[in-house]
Each structure stands twice: as C-alpha cells, then as structure tokens.
C-alpha cells in the first residue's frame, strides 16, 4: 500500500484476529494490572514528553551503547535543535526529576511510566521500531532492599498477569573501580584471540569490551565462555551489596540464576543488573530488565542520588501471556442489541438506549432502517447477549420479547423492566 504503515510499527486495533496481541482490550487490561501493581508498591505515575534533546540520551543511555550509536530517531527541528524520539524512559525521568526538583520531598522518589519508545532496530520477530514499556525508577536509595523491591515489583506484575516459567538472571557489574580492573583483565584475555571475534565484537573491543560478553555470535560465545568473571573483580562493597541482594531474593522466595556474563546494553548501570527471560518469545526472549545506576542523576547535573529501575516491554508481556494461554478478559460485548421497526418505535428505542447506557449497561441499536433480516444479522455479529425487536405491537402492548442470542430462548418484559432484567441476567466482564 502506497501510504502503508512504516516497517517495525504496528496499529493496536479493537480486535485483531490475525495477531491477537495487537487487540486494544488486552493492552488496556495489561496496563491496568501494571498500574495497580505499581501503586501497591508505592510508585507514582509520571508522563514525560516523547521528544527530548538528543544530548540527553547521548549523555545517559551512553555514547557506546547500540541505542545511541545506531538506533535513535534523531533529527533537527525547525528551531535548529537536535532532538530525538525517546528510545527508553530512564533519561527523561531523571531529566524531569532534576528540572522539576522532584527529589526535594521528604521521602525517596519512586516513579513509574507506561509509553512508547523508538529504536531503529533491525527488523526481527519481537523487535519493533516503536515498542511500549512499563518502567519503574526508584531514586535516592542505594540499598540492596531497593534493588530487590524493584525485582519483586516486576515479578509480581508478571504473576498478577498469570505469566509463569520466567527465568530471572542477576549479576553485579560493580562500580567504576571494579569495572576498570575487570576491563583490563578481559582485554588481556581477548587480545590474543581478537581476530577470531565477530566484526561487531572487534569494534566493541575498542569501545565497550564488556558488551562482548553478551554477544549472540557463536564464535564470540565460544571465546567468551572461558573469559574471566566480573564477579572476581568486585571490591568488597560491591560484593557485599550483591550478596545481600541475593540473600533478600532468597528471603522472598524468588528463584534466580547468577549470570556473570549479563552486562546489559546501556552505559549507566553499576552494581546490580537483572533480566527476566520468557521462553515463548524466541530469540528476543528478554521480557524485562534493569539495574542500578548510581551515578546517572549527578552526571546529568543533579545531586548525587543512588538509583535503580527496570523496563519491561508490553508487546512481549502480551505475547507471552497469549503464548502461555494465561486468562485474559474478553472484549466487552453489548448486553443488548435493539432493533426498531418504524419511526415511532425508533424514537422510543433511541431513548431506551440512552437510558440503559446511563445506567451503565452497554447497549447498541441499529440506526440503519434496513430489512429486519439484515438487522438481525448485525445483532448476531455484534455478539450481544440479548436482542430486542420493537415495533408497533410492542409499543401498543408494552410487552417486549427479549431474546437470548446464545440460547435462542425468549422472555417477556415490559419497557420498565428491561434494565432490571439485563442486570439480573448478564454477567459483566471482569
């Protein structure tokens, strides 16, 4: 189609029978559960703009990240400003925190957001150029409890949505000092085998060697399998923090695996990093991930506030949910479909329609003046629980035949009894 949607983008429509994960009622349900769970954990919602200054992401997401080097939708606006469609939510939240002085309140700030992110990624199943994230950021607390509260919120959100069989991986990438020592050891290990690395990893050898650890290339993986472990380079403070994180996860009964090669692709992390994987997602199996980023607020011009957070892809949540056949409410169908025959009946039906809706009853009416048979077909297609035909007879006798669309059975009611009848018969979607 000449004016078709851009590659990597998708519409979320009322009901997508081909790709059910793109049906809006599932998105609304998932977002509702995520919002409620975040609120239970004391996180408050924040909405930041989708456009930000390009420099914000260069400085925070990082000059050596794939996102900044290859994937940003960046352009110059009419005011000659370099701007970017946000590729992730964390930098915007921290920008807003500093700019609006959100950290000056008495307690730590715990914020969450839901919204679209933009990354010009290679086309692949499960990878979109506009994806949507539920993210949470806890600013001002450096304790292991804070890390585990975030992991717990993420996993509780998944559990409330009925997801199971998720793998949780954790690691510590230490602080700058520990990482510097590890970097040297890693480079020394890789140097003699550098030529065998993939082209991408050879570039990373110069720019960000830690990222070679999570390369998907089979040759890289073989080399990396025997690489030194970052956990052997943690100083005592980072090691202690990581041990406490693990102990607390144990206390909460969270099953996890320590994965020393987990480094994550954004530059701001330190100490704890984590990722949650879902088998149903295929190659793009990361459903959510995050970690601690103690230096970020200060590096963007704010005070020294230790912080941590996570982001989880809503597309991937929904695909996992459907893949695992977790229960999910169906789209709300009308309780009643009204067909009116003749102008007097049509006016009466129109008023009833209004009255039912104002009582919270989802109802539909056919305005088309088509033949009865045609209108009955539409009533069927609407999947309403009941249908009602109103003509001269019904008006005269105040006696209506309300028909169950599923059972085919018919009940007699008066005009005054319709709402009561429907409320007693229809079980609404939860």
Q: Which residues bind ligand HAM (CB under 6 A)?
A: 88-90, 119, 121, 127-128, 131, 133, 135, 137, 266, 286-291, 309-313, 315-316
Residue number with CB closer to ligand HAM (294 or 315) = 315
Residue number with CB closer to ligand HAM (155 or 266) = 266
Residue number with CB closer to ligand HAM (248 or 287) = 287
Q: What is the rounded CA–CA span in Å between residue 380 and residue 372?
A: 12
Task: Quote the least distance from Cβ 121 to ligand HAM, whole Å.
Answer: 5
Task: Quote the least distance from Cβ 166 to ligand HAM, whole Å.
Answer: 12
Residue number with CB closer to ligand HAM (121 or 152) = 121
Residue number with CB closer to ligand HAM (306 or 334) = 306
Residue 305: phi and psi, rounded to 5, are -125, 110
Task: Quote the least distance from Cβ 120 to ligand HAM, whole Å.
Answer: 9
Q: What is the rounded CA–CA span in Å between residue 136 and residue 111?
A: 6
Contact 7, 75 (CB under 8 A): no
Task: Quote the least distance from Cβ 305 to ligand HAM, whole Å.
Answer: 14
Task: Quote the least distance from Cβ 124 to ligand HAM, whole Å.
Answer: 9
Contact 269, 101 (CB under 8 A): no
Contact 341, 390 (CB under 8 A): yes
Q: What is the rounded CA–CA span in Å between residue 219 and residue 225?
A: 10
Partners of residue 340 on adjacent β-strands: 390
Residue number with CB closer to ligand HAM (127 or 348) = 127
Task: Quote the least distance from Cβ 306 to ligand HAM, whole Å.
Answer: 13
Residue number with CB closer to ligand HAM (133 or 178) = 133
Task: Quote the least distance from Cβ 26 to ligand HAM, whole Å.
Answer: 16
Residue number with CB closer to ligand HAM (12 or 426) = 12
Task: Quote the least distance from Cβ 117 to ligand HAM, whole Å.
Answer: 7
Residue number with CB closer to ligand HAM (9 or 367) = 9
Partners of residue 411 on adjacent β-strands: 402
| CA angle (234, 235, 239) in 5-degree steps | 65
Residue number with CB closer to ligand HAM (274 or 337) = 274
Task: Quote the least distance from Cβ 73 to ligand HAM, whole Å.
Answer: 12
Residue number with CB closer to ligand HAM (62 or 209) = 62
Q: What is the rounded CA–CA span in Å between residue 190 and residue 314?
A: 37
Residue number with CB closer to ligand HAM (270 or 387) = 270
Indicate the Cα dihedral angle 251, 257, 263, 268, nearest 10°: -10
Task: Quote the least distance from Cβ 105 to ligand HAM, whole Å.
Answer: 20
Q: What is the rounded CA–CA span in Å between residue 347 and residue 356?
A: 14
Task: Quote the least distance from Cβ 142 to ligand HAM, whole Å.
Answer: 14
Task: Quote the least distance from Cβ 214 to ligand HAM, whole Å.
Answer: 11
């Amino acid at each position: 189609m000449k004016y078709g949607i851009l590659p990597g983008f998708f519409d979320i429509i009322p009901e997508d029978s081909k790709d059910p994960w793109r049906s809006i009622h599932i998105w609304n349900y998932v977002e509702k559960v995520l919002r409620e769970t975040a609120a239970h954990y004391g996180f408050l919602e924040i909405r930041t703009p989708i456009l930000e200054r390009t420099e914000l992401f260069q400085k925070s997401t990082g000059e050596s990240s794939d996102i900044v080097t290859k994937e940003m939708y960046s352009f110059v606006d009419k005011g000659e400003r370099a701007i970017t469609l946000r590729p992730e939510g964390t930098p915007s939240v921290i920008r807003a925190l500093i700019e609006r002085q959100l950290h000056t309140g008495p307690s730590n700030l715990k914020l969450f957001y839901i919204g679209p992110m933009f990354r010009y990624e290679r086309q692949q199943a499960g990878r979109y150029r506009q994806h949507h994230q539920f993210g949470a950021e806890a600013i001002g607390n450096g304790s292991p409890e804070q890390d585990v509260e975030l992991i717990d919120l993420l996993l509780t959100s998944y559990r409330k949505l009925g997801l199971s069989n998720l793998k949780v991986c954790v690691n510590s990438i230490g602080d700058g000092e520990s990482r510097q020592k590890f970097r040297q050891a890693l480079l020394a290990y890789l140097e003699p085998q550098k030529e065998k690395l993939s082209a991408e990893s050879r570039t990373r050898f110069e720019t960000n060697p830690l990222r070679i650890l999570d390369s998907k290339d089979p040759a890289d993986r073989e080399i990396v399998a025997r690489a030194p472990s970052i956990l052997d380079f943690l100083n005592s403070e980072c090691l202690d923090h990581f041990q406490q994180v693990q102990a607390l996860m144990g206390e909460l009964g969270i099953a996890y695996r320590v994965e020393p090669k987990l480094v994550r692709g954004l530059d701001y992390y330190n100490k704890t990093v984590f990722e949650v994987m879902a088998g149903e997602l295929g190659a793009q199996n990361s459903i959510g991930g995050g970690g601690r980023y103690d230096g970020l607020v200060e590096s963007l011009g704010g005070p020294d506030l230790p912080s941590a957070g996570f982001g989880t892809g809503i597309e991937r949540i929904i695909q996992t949910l459907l893949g695992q056949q977790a229960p999910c409410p169906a789209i709300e169908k009308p309780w009643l479909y009204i067909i009116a025959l003749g102008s007097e009946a049509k006016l009466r039906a129109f008023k009833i329609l209004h009255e039912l809706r104002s009582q919270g009853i989802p109802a539909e009416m056919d305005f088309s003046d088509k033949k009865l048979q045609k209108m009955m077909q539409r009533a069927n297609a609407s999947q309403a629980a009941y249908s009602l035909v109103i003509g001269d007879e019904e008006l005269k006798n105040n006696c209506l035949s309300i028909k169950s669309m599923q059972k085919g059975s018919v009940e007699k009611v008066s005009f005054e009894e319709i709402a009561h009848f429907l409320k007693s018969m229809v079980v609404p979607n939860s």
